[in-house]
Chains A and B, each alone.
Chain A
């Protein structure tokens, strides 16, 4: 009997950490077995805090966006009376139809098209045709839109959780908070840029988790991107000696930090931004250093960070800032949604270069992301070959302090993943 038969159903024993030998490995059935995905849906996506959207997407009363969160249709709306950001299950309390049927908009009411029940933006049922047919009167409160069990916001990032018993969001985020703070403080008032990337990969979702915080694959996988920016005048040695490190932040969150080998739109000037932008960016670097101190200021302006918030939110603050969620639809398929965060009051030429840097590296039409897709699909195809049962994730284990191109931050994810999937994190 293989380990696969033994362990996939219980979800135990799939991560093997042996500190004595400096060996960390993950059984590949974690990426291929449908039973494991079922456990993930139940233990991870139904219990963890999941990113829904950003408050800048719903600034006006009645603004809404429709989302899929943890594989479930929901919508987020700025309620008109309370001003609160609410997240509702996108299903009619009557007999099920999807209530919010546009991706984005502004509205006074949501009306279910099926039998025309009407709800206000607070979720209250306010009308239905032929109310007198309900003996004793319909219970409007009970038949109102259902809010997701838990909804909390951290500095503009709105999260939801389907488990009413979950710890609060700030506790959940733990040490990851300070890295979110760096992104937000550097921007002042961040906003989500119009337009999104919605693509998919024929690979297990956890391969994209690993890839999103993997500082090891850049030179080999992204050779053509690096050659491109060098041809445009970028000095990739400019990031050397930038305190490169990888951290387990606890609760499954992980981050890598490294000196940016390219320009950064807040305040690391690069020829791609043009001479005009230079004085303004240098001024911003000084202002941030004054406000937040030399070291935090420098981290904001000159240090890249790839941050994973367990289980499926990636915030990569590199040559632009992406907010990316991943959701499996099968063991070998993941849906990816990516947005872009930028300071609301950014100078025009800096914003233009930020957008350009985003699409050339992070976008699915650029010079890098398609090659990541190829790598992940290649891994998934390789798993089917068998012969090798475990993937090795030991890089940098012996070191006192892991580097950004080690795999400590990836191990952070897997440690929590194992605990949550087997049920020992509860």
Chain B
């Protein structure tokens, strides 16, 4: 382990729940404001954003069917799509409300801070009212002194997507 990452890992031990909540609440606000470029800045270059299928919450991309399996490249592509006027499902954009609670931190391991939180994401558009419920599993790192998200896995509690229809927004 290099000196650099050692000190980063040490810094990570000092991160408390309040700081993590600040990050999560900030992310929620950026998504609700549709500040998607700024949202991307919260993630590391090797980031991943995954949503497993409703009926296979432990599903692994590469082996199972999952709903979303984005690396950084596709996160950027997702943002490009959502910003275009041709993402018909989200043009014009929905009003959303990302609500994050029950934030808990696990001990730092392998230079990462594991975080678990519950989410409720409301989406309102064109007479539809959709609600996504589940929990986030995140792994946070310190990069250049900043707390960043290396991975975010959104495990849906809804047993199907019937009520929400699709996952065109970012959860």
Contact = CB atoms under 8 A, between A and B. Distances in A.
Contact of B77 (A103, A194, A231, A370): A231
A373 interface: yes
A340 B65 contact: yes
Contacts of B164: 199
Contacts of B61: 352, 355-356, 359
Interface stretch (A132-140, A251-259, A360-368): A360-368
Contacts of B80: 224, 227-228
B166 A193 contact: no
Nearest to A225: B81
Contacts of B81: 224, 227-228, 367
Interface string B75-110: 001101100101111100000000000000000000
A196 B62 CA distance: 15
* Residue among A194, A195, A365 with the highest chain B CB neighbour number at 10 A: A365
A223 B128 CA distance: 24
B65 A358 contact: yes
Interface in A22-63: none
Interface in A195-249: 195-202, 221, 223-224, 227-228, 231
Contacts of B77: 228, 231, 367
Instruction: Tell me if B's interface is mostly helix, strand, loop or mixed.
Output: loop
B29 interface: no
Contacts of A374: 88-89
A296 interface: no
Given A201-B165, A228-B81, A365-B67, A355 B62 contact: yes
A373 B165 contact: yes
Contact of A359 (B55, B65, B87, B165): B65
A369 interface: yes
B167 A224 contact: no
Given A197-B161, A202-B128, A370-B90, A365 B68 contact: yes
Interface in B134-148: none
Interface residues of B, number: 38
Interface in A161-219: 193-202
* Residue among A348, A358, A366, A375 with the highest chain B CB neighbour number at 10 A: A366
Contacts, number: 120
B55 A371 contact: no
A367 B68 CA distance: 10
A335 interface: yes
B59 A194 contact: yes
B48 to A, nearest CB: 13
Contact of A195 (B59, B84, B126, B161): B59
Interface string A360-403: 10011111011101110100010000000000000000000000
A278 interface: no
A228 B84 CA distance: 12
B53 interface: yes
A169 to B, nearest CB: 27
A351 interface: yes
Contacts of B62: 348, 351-352, 355
Given A199-B160, A202-B128, A194 B65 contact: yes
B84 A365 contact: no
Interface in A299-356: 335, 339-340, 348, 351-352, 355-356
B67 A364 contact: yes
A374 B123 CA distance: 14
A373 B59 contact: no
B168 A359 contact: no
A200 B166 CA distance: 8
A197 B86 contact: no
A75 to B, nearest CB: 16
Contacts of A198: 54-55, 160-162
B66 interface: yes
A362 to B, nearest CB: 10
Given A194-B56, A364-B67, A335 B87 contact: no
B54 A364 contact: no
Contacts of A352: 61-62
20 contacts: A103-B55, A195-B52, A195-B66, A197-B53, A197-B65, A199-B164, A200-B162, A200-B165, A202-B128, A202-B165, A221-B88, A228-B80, A351-B62, A352-B61, A355-B65, A355-B69, A359-B69, A363-B68, A365-B168, A370-B87
